[in-house]
Every structure is written in C-alpha cells, then in structure tokens.
Structure 1
C-alpha cells in the first residue's frame, strides 16, 4: 500500500447542481455508483449525484488510516458490471479500492453527474407537485421527482463521550478522519477501540510508536486473513479468460454463502467455529492472563468477526500494552482509567466506528403529512426490503436498514438494491406518477418476517454491536443468505406499492 496519497485528485471546478431533475442521488460512494449505473442502463439520464466530499469513493475516500483495506476478497468486492482483472492482492488495500471506484466513475460517465463538496440538509415532499424540495448546504434548492439516499451505514464517524477529551493537548484523530501528514515516529500513542479499523492500523502504528496502548472495551473474535499477492499466471488468467474470472468470483461467493450456517444460534457450524477460534487463540496467545482478556464470552459473529494475521503478535510486543480497564477521563497528556492508572500519550486515535444505526442522521426528511423520518423511525429504523419507508413517497435508500451482511460481499447486496430501486424509479417516470409509496402493511409484514428470522441468529446474542440499537433490535443486518435477499427483491411486489 502506498504511504501517501492526496485526499482528492485535481479536477475542474464542478458545475452547480441543476434546479430541477428527475432523480437526485445523495452520495457518490459504492451505492451511488451502483445506482448511477442502473439508472443510465435504463435510459434515465436526468439525475445528479450530490457528494459532500471532493470525489467519489465514499468510505474508501474518508478512511485513509495506515493499513486500511477490505476484509472481503477483491474479486468479490467489485461490481459485476465492472470486473477488474489486475487486482494486486486477494484482499485489496484501500488505495487500490479507491482507484477502482474512480475508474468505474470515469468509465461509465458518472463523474459528469456528480456535484462534489456539496451536502443535502433537508428534504420536504410537496404532495401536490409530486416532487421533493431539496435544500443544499450552500443555500441552493433543487426540485426532484425522486430522491435516492446512497449514504449507507458507515458514513458518520462516532466519537465517544469521554470526559476531558477536549482538554487533551496532544493530537486526536478518528480513523475516518485521518491526517496523513501525522508522524507517529517515537510518540506515545493510545488507540481507543479494537475492532475493524483498529486491528488494521495497530500493527503498523506499533512499528512507529515509542509506546502503544490499546484500549479494549470488548474482545473480538479474530480469524486469519488468507491474503497474498496474485501471481503473474493468475493475472493472465483473469485478463485473458473471462470465464475463469467469473468462475473464480462465483466460487468465492458460494464459499462465503456457506459460512452463514455459523451465524445461526446453536448450529453445529456455530459450535465448531467457536471451538476452532478458541483453539487458535490458545495457540497465538501463550500468556494465560492476556488470553483471558482477549477471549470473547459471546458467540462468534455476534459482533463483526475480524481478519488479521498480526494482531495478537503485535499485542505481545514489549512496547505495546493492552488496557481492558474502562477509561475514566483524559488529562492534558494522559488517559486515566477507572482503576486509577495514568497512561501518558502524545496522540490519541479514536478507532470507535460509526453511527451505524442512525440512518440518514444528517438529513431532515419531512413527508407529505408533516412527519419527519426521524419521528417515524424513533430509535429503531426499518424499511420495506431495506429501501423504502411508508409515508415517504418517491424516496428510496441503498444499504438501508437490514441490508448489511456478516458473511459475504455488501457490493452484491447493493447491486441488487440498485437494480430494484432503478426499476421503481423507471415506473415512476414512465407512468408519470406523482407518488409511489410502499404500503404500511407491506412494510410491517416484511419487517416482522425479518425480525423473526433474526431472532435465531448469533446477532441476537448478548454482546454490544453496531448491528443493533440499544434496546436490542437488530436494525442493520439481513437475516439470511445474500442469495435469499436477491430472490426476495426479484419477486414481483406491485401490490405492496400505492401509486398516484
């Protein structure tokens, strides 16, 4: 992975968004690119993508921390309509993934639809006109027949409420807002958090820092990452035999699908997986005291399973310490634990994730009856097929409630949603409808089925997780196989929608 990269490549100043469009898309990340492709494929070209950052890529533009990369194989973490034969590794690093998304945007003429460095602040539906009034952060307004949110689940960083954080005099960085000019060489570094981002950056930071203190709230299950560079022979096969590339991708998809069995509570696969991972921890962590701290007391998969080949070895290094005592507060140059230990630090890294259950949290969305989306959802968001909410016509979302996975590629899920949503938008426009809204009964029935199925998964277990809200409702994950989700969206459902 390259060690330095500009936040955004030079580009011409974008034109202002038009005043009226058929479709407004919010976000130019993975989901935004997927829906743009599907709209263009259906001949819908009157759309604009409003993106708050300086370019496409979403989380892969925002997350620039050392070691950032994907935990899904590269040939599976790519669009079916844009295969890439020359992935460098089985698991691609962040910069290569961002390059890929930028190439997709250029190749399919999506960049011309994007308006960068622009944010949507409010959405208000005008029932008489059948259009959304969209307010932007620069004061401009857009009128759109349909709005598609492509902001996803992992776009707003979460900063914990730590007493004294504002009084800390050193550098504080969230992994999603990394400063690539920061030099951690010889510094006393504290990493708060030990999940997906932390497990990637900790081994690299440990090579630079004088001391590294890792603050762990809850241990995570960690499996080996079967990563390596692709050989020249493999690159030749991928580039010259499309059938081989498709077979490789399909095989990878099916292998990941089979792993879902381990996410069912009490299944033989779940029990075997736990035995296997406990055995690996015993082998990787010889110190009994540290092994006890690092061994979770919940089922594998209840929280996100992490991939790393170096995490446990890094924690065993002499200048690295694992802190499981809760944080009491921060002082000017230190973190103080509940037990009274004072751990000095020059830099604090917040590897604390995202506001994953707060869908569309940065937008004020008001439906035709005056109710806001936040009021309708409360603390437990839900959506019909993960893409639509009753009472909010002509509004769709991608990577919405109950569309995340714990075992396979989210790009597969996003493509299925994009195909489905584009079909609904096409019907709205081709039939000149004023509104297309999912019926409340359809949404309630769909949500009830999903929640019943989720109750039998490990995600319903007793562990803190970004998959669910504080009251225990699982709002983020789909309840079954990725292929089952695809079949669900493929079923005709005209009766579930009300047209006007």
Structure 2
C-alpha cells in the first residue's frame, strides 16, 4: 500500500462519469445489490454530453423513444427528437428516481488511476479513492477538439467551442465565423443566423444532410403512454427495428446506400435553389461515409443573404478576422468552433496506468482496441463503457451501453460466485475479437465511402464504430466468459 492510498476513501467499485453510461451503470449496480460504490464526476451535476452541450438548437438525432433506458421509459417526451434540456432533465430524473445521487461525488475530476497490484488507486481533484474495480463511463464526446489555427492567439474578438457555449455573449449584430460543418454546427447555425449581422461558415467538407422527421408528440399520445406503458414499448420496438434495418446499407450491402443518397440529394435540391451554393454543399463521397446529419432548417439558413459559405482553407487568423488561402480577408468579431470532439485521442488514455505502470495510450500505440469494446489486456479489474468499436452510425448508444452494463454485472457476479479477486482479458482473446471487427469493417460504407472522418484514427482505421447489428453485440455481451480472462 502506498502512502497516498493509506488515506484514500475505500470502495469496492469506482464509476467515472455521470452521462448515460455512468448513471445507467450506477442504477444497475444498486438493483443488483451492489451498494459499496462511488461515482466520480468532475462537474456539479449529472448529464455528461447532455449537460455540457447547451448551444442553441441542440437536440438528439436518435428518436426519443429509443434514446432512453429500457428500465426507465419516459412518456413525457415533447417531440419525436428530443431537445437537449429534456434529455438532461431525463438523466436527472433517473438519477433521483433510482436514488443514485448519494453515491455521486461532484467536483471530483479524475486526474489519474493506477493499478497497485491488487487494487486501483484513483487520484481526483479532491482526494484519493481505492477500489477493487474501476468502471469508466467517460464517453468519447467529452473533450472538445479545437484546431490550432495560425495566428489565433492574436484574435481580438470572442472565441469558444460549441460544447462550451458562451451564453453571456449576445450575438445580435455580430460578425460570426463558424468553423466546421458537423452535427453541432448544423443545429446551432440555423439558431443564430437570424440574429447575427454576418455569418461566415468555413466548410472543409460538406456533409450529407437528410430531412429530420421531427414532430410534436401530442398530449393525447403522452396520456396513452402513461396509461399503457406497453404502447410506448411497442413504439420503441418499431423505431429500433426500423433503425436496425439500415445496417444493411451501412455495413452489409453498401450499394443500398444509393437509395438514401437520392433522398439527401433531393432534399438539398429542394431547399437550395442557387446552383452555385448547391454545388458548394454537395458532398463528393457516398452517403454514410461520414456521420449522416438530420436537419430541416440548415440549408434554408445557408441560403439567407447574411450567410457566406467559405470553402477555401484557412491560411491564418488576424486580430480582426480570418484570411483564407485565396487571399480574401473575412472580417469577424466572433469565432465559434463546431469542430467536434477528441474521439480517438481520449484524455483517459493518459490518465489510466495499468499493470507495470503502462498507460492506456501506450497500450493503444497501434490504435484503440478492447475485447467487446469493454476490457483491455494489461488493465485488471477495469471495464470501459462506450469503448473502442462500440459507437453507432445508425441507432441509439443507450442500447449498446445497456449491453455493456449487463456484461460487466455478470463479470462482478462471476467474481463473487467463484471467489476471484482479479480478472484481466487475455491478449490473444482481445486480438481475436479486434481482428474479427477489423475484418468486418473492410466492406462497410465507412471504409469504402471515399472520405475521411472522425470515425477513423490517424492510421485510417475505424476504431470507433460497431460494424454490425446491435442485437449481435447484445448476444456477444450476454454472458461473461471467465475462460477468456486471466483470473486470480
């Protein structure tokens, strides 16, 4: 025992993060009879991504009925695609309804975690914790990715990332530069366009945008869901299987994606009449290669007279604007990054030290990988939620999270039943799983669609997405197989 661990708070289990993963894990731990656990959260409330992203227009692109825990249906969704405040409120309601809040330590930013030979020592901004098992719910959409633009330090105006929205700044009458055209930008651009004097959208690659079939859920529908929970369960099942069918186009028969691409092309043509602007907004890759975006108001916003879509690369930032490679200076007083997150460069990679002090970054020097996206060789009694190759391009991450939670609970129960104190996935088991995933990935739209995206790591490999049906992942995580692990 180290001197630091002698004064640490002791718990059997430490959970990190209070997004869907951390809260879902905490609820299921309590329901399974595990009460000696603590949840560490750097912020002052729960919510994760849905607490931090409060930019105008923020909402989910997965239908509401599917974007919730199976054990906690929400009959009160106001729309078929939920806005951010409702999702954050839902997570708070689950936290309090299942009495998880007493287990949470707010304001405890995890700074590092070290395997000590028979337990974990977790350092936080407010003290140390020891645990037999560490469960990480730190999702990939937590740390903003901010590009290093030449001259940005000289800029005299306001600068912020969409995930760190400056609500104190009134954008009315301002000349705003938006850098990036991903999932966040297509939501906040239409929200701020009517207020700003000028909006300069710096686009590196145009995304494919599909119509968003969003509508208000009527009071009568909500009454039915409250009175007859099976009705909402049936609605959820319908959404699930509809979404699941699209895997055929994404991962099995990419040629099918041409049908969806025709819908996106028609959507663009109907909403953007100017042929020059439409040409700028037409992607040169197959639909699905990058994240497919949903919006009914993005294109109309770009067609407004106070908006300029800039396709030339940024050369430098000056004190009063942005100069592009064509030599044009765009005078702006505000820069907003819509540049996404550090998905394949997670901070946890440097914080986590496994056997022999090896960091997760060192273990992942050749790319992120984990058995079932959950367990990493060399890191005993450690499990990831939303780990490598568990992301989705078509359905709800909550489904994947619940699959992993069930697997981890079965691991804990197996340890209890057999008297095992330590489990560590065998390297050859992890390698076999990763090889199967990479083999399955070869013919998917994500690798053959002709684009680069945040799905891919620095070596061009897709280490983020699951290349098959989600029910197949649930089958694989249904049971913890101790034979695949080194045990002590």
TM-score interval w.r.t. the shorter chain? over 0.9
Quote the residue 1:131 is aligned against. 119
1:20–1:142 contact (8 Å) kept in structure 2: yes
- List runs of 5+ in structure 1 lacking aligned partners: 1-16
Quote the residue 2:426 is aligned against. 439
Following superposition, the deviation at residue 187 of structure 1 comes to 0.6
Please point out which of 455, 460, 466 is paired with 2:454. Answer: 466
Quote the residue 2:486 is aligned against. 498
Quote the residue 2:14 is aligned against. 24
Quote the residue 1:122 is aligned against. 112
Quote the residue 2:184 is aligned against. 197
| 1:448-474 deviation digits (Å, cap 9, x = unpaired) | 111111111111133121111021111
TM-score (normalised: structure 2): 0.96
SS in 2 for 1:321: strand
Quote the residue 2:25 is aligned against. 35
- List runs of 5+ in structure 2 lacking aligned partners: 1-6
Following superposition, the deviation at residue 383 of structure 1 comes to 0.3
Quote the residue 2:358 is aligned against. 371
Quote the residue 1:66 is aligned against. 56
SS in 2 for 1:33: helix
TM-score (normalised: structure 1): 0.94
| 1:371-417 deviation digits (Å, cap 9, x = unpaired) | 22111101511000000101110011100100000000011111111
1:42–1:426 contact (8 Å) kept in structure 2: no
CA distance in 2, matches of 1:279, 1:187: 33
Alignment of 1:388-427 (within 5 A): 388-427=375-414
Greater mean deviation of Cα atoms: 265-274 or 191-200: 265-274
Residues paired across the two proteins, number: 481
Quote the residue 2:465 is aligned against. 477
Pick closer, same or farther for the CA change 1:102–1:473 going to 2, 3 Å: same
Quote the residue 1:488 is aligned against. 476
Alignment of 1:64-463 (within 5 A): 64-127=54-117, 130-138=118-126, 140-264=127-251, 267-361=254-348, 363-378=350-365, 380-461=367-448, 462-463=450-451
CA distance in 2, matches of 1:338, 1:331: 13
Pick closer, same or farther for the CA change 1:41–1:411 going to 2, 3 Å: same
2:211–2:267 contact (8 Å) kept in structure 1: no
> RMSD between aligned alpha carbons?
1.5
Quote the residue 2:4 is aligned against. none
Quote the residue 1:7 is aligned against. none
Following superposition, the deviation at residue 426 of structure 1 comes to 3.0
Following superposition, the deviation at residue 173 of structure 1 comes to 1.1
CA distance in 1, matches of 2:207, 2:366: 26
CA distance in 2, matches of 1:144, 1:390: 19
Pick closer, same or farther for the CA change 1:487–1:362 going to 2, 3 Å: closer
Following superposition, the deviation at residue 361 of structure 1 comes to 3.6
Q: Does 1:55 align with 2:45?
A: yes
SS in 2 for 1:226: coil
Quote the residue 1:12 is aligned against. none
Following superposition, the deviation at residue 429 of structure 1 comes to 4.3
CA distance in 2, matches of 1:236, 1:244: 11
CA distance in 1, matches of 2:480, 2:349: 33
Quote the residue 1:11 is aligned against. none
CA distance in 1, matches of 2:172, 2:17: 36
Greater mean deviation of Cα atoms: 67-76 or 486-495: 486-495
